A and B are shown apart, each in its own frame.
Chain A
Amino acid sequence: MSALPPPVASPFDPPDPTSRADGWSGPLTGMIAVNDVSKFFGSVVAVSEVSFAIDGGVTALLGPNGAGKSTLFRMMCGLTPPSRGEVAVLGANPRTDRDVRGRISLVPQQDALFDHLTASEWVSTAARAQAVEDPDAVAAWALEQVELHDVGDKRVGEFSKGMRQRAKVASALVNDPEVLILDEPLTGLDPVQRRRMIALFHQLGDDGRCVLVSSHVLDEVARLGSRVLVIAQGRLVATGDYRDLRELMDDRPLRVRVGVSDPRRFATALVERGLVTALTLDPERLVVDTLDIDAFGRQLAPLAVELGVRLTEGTRLDDDLESGFR
């Protein structure tokens, strides 16, 4: 992550914005440059002294709900000014520079759309609002990118949550943005669409665009890319490679709920094989802590077959950042 502050000893050590590889202590630069930014809402500190810079490619912004991700995104798009510090996107202030807004696209977290419009109208309206030439053709192209071209005549108010998300992404593509900011864009998508959407983000990033995607789900981040910014309680707590973060997360037990027809017998077998470090039992399921989630996952189904019991559920209870910051 070249434009990020230099690597730190632990991914959970807070990065020092004034410490740079080149020894220069001036403002960070990049397609998105956030320099010592804080945001207060009255006495509530939403974002506190955050600094980072990112360039082309896909970067994930990770953080539990309420960590300040959306506030940070809003500042990057100029929707709200920082209380302190500076945000520059493509070298300009997105709050005051009208032209730079035509080079940025935001997919907001909220579900709101102009529900009375058809998908085609929705996206072509976005294209017109970006002064795009031949907005209808661009809208058709954008809908094709998110595989909504077959339902272009349908009102977005009739769309499912996942289709609405894809419609929002389509409208964000119309201006060929150099910076694409997506706030929890995978929410509501089915696994297939999620995979395709992530592939789209990577393609956009590979083309040199700066694609910044927020999520609070670790598995999503694993597929989004290796560059990660982690924010918690308004502070940037880690920057760097996803794999470092994952390893650190794997050093603590992960909790899994397993639904099984004979929980007691299944639990005994799990303990005998050393797959769990703790468990609680009830008549229909058990909740286990495991240090090696991959081995646990691999052995779960074969063990059920071997014992002749029926598996009804396997849910990871803390595979999100909420658990990481507990």
Chain B
Amino acid sequence: MTVDARAPARRAGRRVPPATAVSLTYGLVLRQLTSWGRIIALTLLSSIAIVAGFAHGASDTANLDDAVGMIAALGFAVVVPVVSLVFGGASIGDLREDKTLVYLWLRPIDRWPIVLGAALAAMTLTAPIALLPLLLGAVLTGVGSGIVVGTLLAGVVGVIAYVAVFTMLGVWLRRFIVWGLAYILIWEGFIAQAGPGVARVAIRKYTRSILVDRTGADLDLADFSLAVGIIVPLVIAVAAIVVAAWRLANQDID
């Protein structure tokens, strides 16, 4: 075991371009997150939307408001946030827990590409697992194309915002699942229902607003315009990535 003088030429101390760092992190995290147990469990959860959509479509009393209410209550209150939490939180949270984060952290790489790459990997898994069953459920309600377009648009915006926020949570907190569920169930599911002021700091209100804008259905706490419904969650996502990158740069790494 000796150091070979003919070792390939290397250059130490050079910076990794952000695009390379994003791509590197994306590939690593995507493979790390791809656990069949997790994918099957979350797909089963999401599939409830298909069953609910079919049941609604088969009902004699099916109407637009009920269908949109069902998609909002099941899809945007449970499926999208929970699937986003599992993948978003685990994207960096799992690396920190299993102590592999050091292999990314201790490189000449900026922090934001690590967070962005991890969040993109989580979105890559969350989007099909959460949105495809939800879209199928929306189609099966049989109340027109508006609900499908609204579900798709709100779903994409919701996945981006929730994954970014929960990626930040995974960087910040060891028990990201507990805190994430507390946010989904207690804040968004209970406290944010108290009034329009509090609801502004709940992502769910923005996804509901998009859904209502595209369908014209009558839902509570869904009075933002389409532009606000799209732009604010995207701004939240960017802010979450920035905060997560700052936190990653300043926290202790095991």
Chain A residues in contact with chain B, CB under 8 A? 74, 77-80, 98-104, 106, 108, 110, 112-114, 116-117, 125-126, 128-134, 137-138, 141, 144-147, 171, 174-178, 196-197, 199-200, 203-204, 207
Offer 19 A-B interface pairs, CB within 8 angstroms, sorted by A: A78-B106, A79-B106, A80-B253, A98-B15, A98-B109, A100-B13, A101-B106, A101-B107, A101-B108, A102-B15, A102-B108, A114-B100, A129-B104, A132-B10, A133-B8, A141-B8, A145-B2, A177-B12, A200-B3
A162 to chain B minimum Cβ distance, whole angstroms, is 13
Instruction: Check A125 against B28 for contact (C-beta < 8 Å).
Output: yes
**Complex interface bits, B2-20 against A, C-beta within 8 A gives 1, otherwise 0:** 1110011111111111001
- What residues on A are CB-neighbors of B31 within 8 Å? 114, 116-117
Taking the closest CB of chain B, its distance from the CB of A288, in whole angstroms, is 37
A79, A99, A203: the one contacting B108 at CB < 8 Å is A99
Let me know if B102 and A108 touch, CB within 8 A.
Answer: yes
B-to-A contact residues, CB < 8 Å: 1-4, 7-17, 20-21, 24, 28, 31-32, 98-100, 102-110, 252-254
Instruction: Evaluate contact between B103 and A132: CB separation under 8 angstroms.
Output: no
Other-chain contact of A102, B14, B98, B99 (Cβ < 8 Å) = B14
Q: B10 is contacted by which of A80, A98, A125, A175 (Cβ under 8 Å)?
A: A175
Of B10, B32, B100, which contacts A176 at CB under 8 A? Answer: B10
In this complex, the member of A74, A145, A176 whose beta carbon has the largest number of chain B beta carbons within 10 angstroms is A176
B4 CB contact (under 8 Å) in A74, A145, A199: A145
Query: In the assembly, what is the distance between CA of A138 and CA of B12, in Å?
Result: 12
- Chain A residues with Cβ below 8 Å from B12 are 102-103, 130, 175-178
Inter-subunit contact A147/B1 (CB<8 Å): yes
- The answer to whether A171 touches B103, judged by C-beta atoms less than 8 angstroms apart, is yes
Q: Which residue of A lies closest to B104 (CB)?
A: A129
When distances are taken between beta carbons in the complex, the residues of chain B under 8 Å from A102 are 12-15, 107-108
Q: How far is the CB of A94 from chain B (nearest CB, A)?
A: 9
Closest Cβ–Cβ distance, residue A87 to chain B (whole Å): 14
**What is the minimal beta-carbon distance from B174 to any residue of chain A, in angstroms?**
15
Given A146-B1, A200-B3, does the pair A110, B14 have CB atoms closer than 8 Å?
A: no
User: Would you list the 3 A-B pairs with minimal beta carbon distance, nearest first?
Assistant: A102-B108, A196-B1, A112-B99
Task: Find chain A residues with CB under 8 A from B28 CB.
Answer: 114, 125
A114 contacts across to B, CB distance below 8 A:
28, 31-32, 100, 103
Residues B108 and A125 in contact, CB atoms below 8 Å apart? no
A171 CA to B103 CA in the complex, in Å?
9
Cβ A138 vs Cβ B10 within 8 A: yes
The minimal Cβ–Cβ distance linking B249 to chain A, given in whole angstroms, is: 9
In the complex, what distance in Å separates the CA atom of A204 from the CA atom of B102? 23
CA distance A224 to B162 in the complex (A): 51
Residues of B contacting A207 in the complex (Cβ-Cβ under 8 angstroms)? 3
Max chain A C-beta neighbours (<10 A), residue from B1, B99, B103, B109: B1
- Indicate if the CB atoms of A130 and B252 lie closer than 8 Å: no
Alpha-carbon separation in the docked complex, A199 to B1 (Å) = 7
- Find chain B residues with CB under 8 A from A113 CB: 100
Across the interface, do B107 and A79 meet the contact criterion of CB distance under 8 Å? no
Most chain B CB within 10 A, of A98, A174, A204, is at A98
> Nearest-CB distance from B11 to chain A (Å)?
6
In whole Å, how far is B122's beta carbon from the nearest beta carbon of chain A? 16
A279 smallest CB distance to B (angstroms)? 41
Inter-chain contact A129/B107, CB cutoff 8 Å: yes
Q: Is the CB of B99 within 8 A of A110?
A: yes
Cβ distance B143 to chain A, nearest Cβ, rounded Å: 43
* Complex CA distance for A233 and B252, rounded to whole angstroms: 21
Nearest CB in chain A: distance from B127 CB, A: 22
Q: Using A101-B107, A102-B107, A141-B8 as known contacts, list a sample of 5 further A-B pairs with CB atoms less than 8 Å apart, ordered by residue number in A.
A: A106-B106, A138-B8, A178-B12, A200-B3, A204-B3
